[in-house]
C-alpha cells in the first residue's frame, strides 16, 4: 500500500510570508502561533494558537507572519488517493469539500491532543520501509478522524460520483495543453454540461471552467520557476492568448508572471493521478 501525503513541522524566525499560491491537493495548516494573517480567496483571518486552516484544492491562499517566531505543522494529501488507500477516511474528505469558513479554533486541550497526533504522524513519516505504511496511514487517519466531529459533517460523496470525478480530472489534467472546453469534456464523458457543473461544484466548489483555468495557471507557474519564458509557459499550459494568460495569471496570483518567475520558487503541486 502506498501512502499519499506529506507532513512537516516548520519553524520560522522573524517576519515570514508564503505568497499567494494554490495546490491540486488538500492542505491542513495547524497553527501554534497566534497573530498570523491568513488569506483564503477574498477572506482574511488572524490565527490564535491552535488554529486549524483547511485549504481545498485550487483555493488561493496566503500566510503572513510578523511574529518573532512562527510555528506550525503542515499536512498535504491527495483526497482521492487517500480514499482509495483507506475508504474509512471518506467522511473527513467530504467535510473538507463543504463551504465552511476555512478555520477551526481549538481549545487548549484539543490543541495539545492534535499537536501530539501531528507529532506522531511526523515521526512515523520518516520511515522508508513498506512495512510501516500501515502506521503512516493510521497516523493520518487519527488526525483526520479527530477533526471530523469538529466539522460536524455526515454526508459523503457516493462511490459513483467519486469514480466519475476522478476520471474527469485525470482527463482534464492530461489535456490542459489542448483546447478543452466544458462542451468537449461533457461530450467525451457522455454527460450533459449541467451534470458536469453539479459534480464540480459538489466536489471541488469550483465550476469546470474555473478548475481548468486554475489548473493551467498551476502548470504555467511550475514552468515559469523552472526557466520557461512567459510566452512558452502560456503556450504549454493551454492558453491560446498571451494577453489573456498575463491577465488571468496576475488576477489569480496577485503578481504578474514576470514577477513570479523571478522569485525562483513555487508552491504549486501537481500530484493528482
- Identify the pLDDT of residue 68: 67
Q: What pTM was computed for the model?
A: 0.60
Residue 15: pLDDT band by 50, 70, 90 thresholds? low
When pLDDT is averaged across residues 153-165 and rounded to a whole number, the result is 52
Which region, left, alpha or beta, applies to residue 65 given φ > 0 means left and ψ of -120 to 50 means alpha? beta
60 and 91 assigned to the same domain: yes
Tens of pLDDT along 168-181? 888 888 898 898 99
- Identify the pLDDT of residue 232: 95
* Domain-terminating residue out of 111, 129, 151: 151
Determine, yes or no, domain membership for 272.
Answer: no
φ/ψ of 41, rounded to 5, equals 55, -115
Total domain count, the chain: 2
Q: Evaluate if residue 203 carries a pLDDT over 90.
A: no
CATH code assigned at 230: 1.10.10.60
144 and 175 assigned to the same domain: no
- Identify the pLDDT of residue 205: 63
Domain that holds residue 102: 5-151
CATH code assigned at 103: 2.60.120.280
Torsion sign over Cα 117, 122, 125, 127: negative
Percent of the chain with pLDDT over 90: 21
- The CA-atom distances, in angstroms, between 165 and each of 27, 162, 177 are 20, 5, 20
144 and 29 assigned to the same domain: yes
- Identify the pLDDT of residue 95: 64
* Domain-terminating residue out of 115, 132, 151: 151
For residues 156, 159, 164, 167, the Cα torsion angle rounded to the nearest 10 degrees is 110
* Domain-terminating residue out of 124, 151, 178: 151
Determine, yes or no, domain membership for 271.
Answer: no
- Identify the pLDDT of residue 262: 80
Amino acid at each position: 500500500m502506498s501512502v499519499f501525503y506529506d507532513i512537516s513541522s516548520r519553524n520560522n524566525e522573524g517576519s515570514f510570508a508564503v505568497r499567494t499560491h494554490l495546490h491540486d491537493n488538500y492542505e491542513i495548516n495547524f497553527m501554534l502561533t497566534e497573530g498570523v494573517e491568513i488569506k483564503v480567496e477574498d477572506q482574511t483571518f488572524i490565527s490564535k494558537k491552535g488554529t486549524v486552516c483547511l485549504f481545498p484544492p485550487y483555493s488561493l491562499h496566503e500566510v503572513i507572519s510578523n511574529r518573532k517566531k512562527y510555528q506550525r505543522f503542515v499536512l498535504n494529501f491527495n483526497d482521492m488517493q487517500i480514499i482509495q488507500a483507506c475508504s474509512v477516511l471518506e467522511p473527513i474528505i467530504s467535510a473538507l469539500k463543504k463551504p465552511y469558513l476555512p478555520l477551526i479554533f481549538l481549545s487548549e486541550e484539543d490543541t495539545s491532543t492534535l499537536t501530539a497526533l501531528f507529532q506522531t504522524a511526523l515521526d512515523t513519516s520518516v520511515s522508508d520501509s513498506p512495512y510501516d505504511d500501515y502506521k503512516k496511514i493510521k497516523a493520518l487517519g487519527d488526525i483526520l478522524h479527530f477533526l471530523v466531529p469538529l466539522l460536524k459533517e455526515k454526508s459523503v460523496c457516493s462511490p459513483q460520483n467519486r469514480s466519475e470525478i476522478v476520471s474527469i480530472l485525470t482527463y482534464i489534467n492530461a489535456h490542459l495543453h489542448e483546447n478543452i472546453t466544458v462542451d468537449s469534456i461533457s461530450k467525451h464523458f457522455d454527460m450533459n454540461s449541467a451534470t458536469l457543473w453539479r459534480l464540480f461544484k459538489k466536489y471541488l466548489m469550483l465550476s469546470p471552467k474555473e478548475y481548468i483555468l486554475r489548473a493551467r495557471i498551476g502548470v504555467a507557474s511550475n514552468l515559469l520557476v523552472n526557466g520557461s519564458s512567459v510566452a512558452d509557459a502560456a503556450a504549454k499550459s493551454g492558453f491560446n492568448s498571451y494577453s489573456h494568460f498575463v491577465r488571468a495569471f496576475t488576477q489569480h496570483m496577485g503578481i504578474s508572471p514576470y514577477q513570479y518567475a523571478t522569485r525562483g520558487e513555487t508552491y504549486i503541486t501537481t500530484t493528482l493521478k
